[in-house]
Amino acid sequence: MMEANAETGNRTEARAPLIAPAIVLVRPQLGENIGFAARAMGNFGLRDLRLVSPRDGWPNDKARAAAAVADVIVDEAKVYDTVEAALQDLNFVLATTARPRGMVKEVLSPETAAPALRARALSQERTGVMFGGERNGLDNDSIALADAILTAPVDPEFASLSLPQAVLLFAYEWRKAEKPEGLGRVTAFDGPAQEGVAAPDTRPATRAELFGLFAHLEGALDEAGFLKPPEKRPAMVRSIRNMFHRMGATDQDVRTWRGIVSALTRRSTPPRA
């Protein structure tokens, strides 16, 4: 489903749901690649898949299998005979190609295209991105139907972005553009990809807990004769303490280290007859 646009509720035109771009695959060859493209779409919030004359017909079992959990996107894909038919309802269309081939068109990267399409979608424009078939990419006639060109910054020496890879990069940037203020910091979903430190059932150790550990460890090290000579002791102690600070020790970590120190030193008091 499309995202609701709750945060811009005071702008009337923004209250309608944002319509994410359509992904238009023009004469794709392998069913697997259609499925992989659908999977890439699903991962990053795109749902509207359109196919122009898929070589191996439609429906295609291989496409469905390759889509994995995104098979619903394959099931709901629309099939057209011509590029023109597939683009009918769209207001703004990008053509993906590595080679602009002499056309005077604006060239966008995925990174710049995604927010540009999002801005148009927020204004209730319907947008789409065309991708060509595996062998030759988009033909010039299809490119000519687009408003601008989308191209990824690939290494010219290895330029070989596959169809699903190209879809993935656009979809990924589309998702990132959802929260422009949060680029790179906050993800759009509340799920597993939040940045920060993954710390289940733990909390940062208090200074009291850390100091208790320091006293325990340093006491053991003094007894073991490790913190010598005396004039070097302060620097050695600081260095060890700094390591614990740098690791961002949790309460559980402190308990673990106290257990380690106890275990290693417990061996030093062998039973005496």
Complex with a copy of itself: residue 90 or 150, whichever CB lies closer: 150
Choosing from 189, 206, 211, 219, the residue that interacts with a copy of itself (CB under 8 A) is 189
Rounded Cα distance between 267 and 149, Å, is 71
Complex with a copy of itself: residue 61 or 195, whichever CB lies closer: 195
Closest distance between a copy of itself and the C-beta of residue 12, in Å?
A: 27
Query: Which residues between 116 and 175 bind a copy of itself (CB under 8 A)?
Result: 149, 151-162, 164-165, 168-169, 172, 175
Closest distance between a copy of itself and the C-beta of residue 211, in Å?
A: 18
Query: Which residues between 35 and 64 bind a copy of itself (CB under 8 A)?
Result: 36, 39-40, 42-45
Residue 132 host element (H or E): none
Closest distance between a copy of itself and the C-beta of residue 81, in Å?
A: 29
Given a contact cutoff of 8 angstroms between Cβ atoms, the answer to whether 74 and 64 are in contact is yes
Give Cα 159 to chain centroid, integer Å.
22
- Residue 197, interface with a copy of itself (CB under 8 A)? yes
Choosing from 105, 216, 233, 258, the residue that interacts with a copy of itself (CB under 8 A) is 105
Complex with a copy of itself: residue 57 or 270, whichever CB lies closer: 270
- Contact stretch for a copy of itself (CB under 8 A) within 11-19, 54-62, 86-94, 218-226: 218-226
Rounded Cα distance between 103 and 149, Å, is 9
| Residue 62 CB contacts under 8 Å (≥ 6 apart), including other chains | 30, 31, 32, 35, 56
Nearest to 144 by CA among 205, 93, 110, 192: 93
- Write 14-18 long-range contacts (CB < 8 A, 24+): 14/122, 16/124, 18/118, 18/121, 18/122
Choosing from 18, 187, 209, 214, the residue that interacts with a copy of itself (CB under 8 A) is 187
Choosing from 16, 65, 123, 185, the residue that interacts with a copy of itself (CB under 8 A) is 185
Complex with a copy of itself: residue 53 or 250, whichever CB lies closer: 250
Closest distance between a copy of itself and the C-beta of residue 162, in Å?
A: 7
| Residue 56 CB contacts under 8 Å (≥ 6 apart), including other chains | 29, 30, 31, 62
| Residue 142 CB contacts under 8 Å (≥ 6 apart), including other chains | 26, 83, 95, 130, 132
Preceding peptide of 59 cis, ω within 30° = yes
Closest distance between a copy of itself and the C-beta of residue 44, in Å?
A: 6
Choosing from 4, 224, 232, 234, the residue that interacts with a copy of itself (CB under 8 A) is 224
Closest distance between a copy of itself and the C-beta of residue 85, in Å?
A: 25
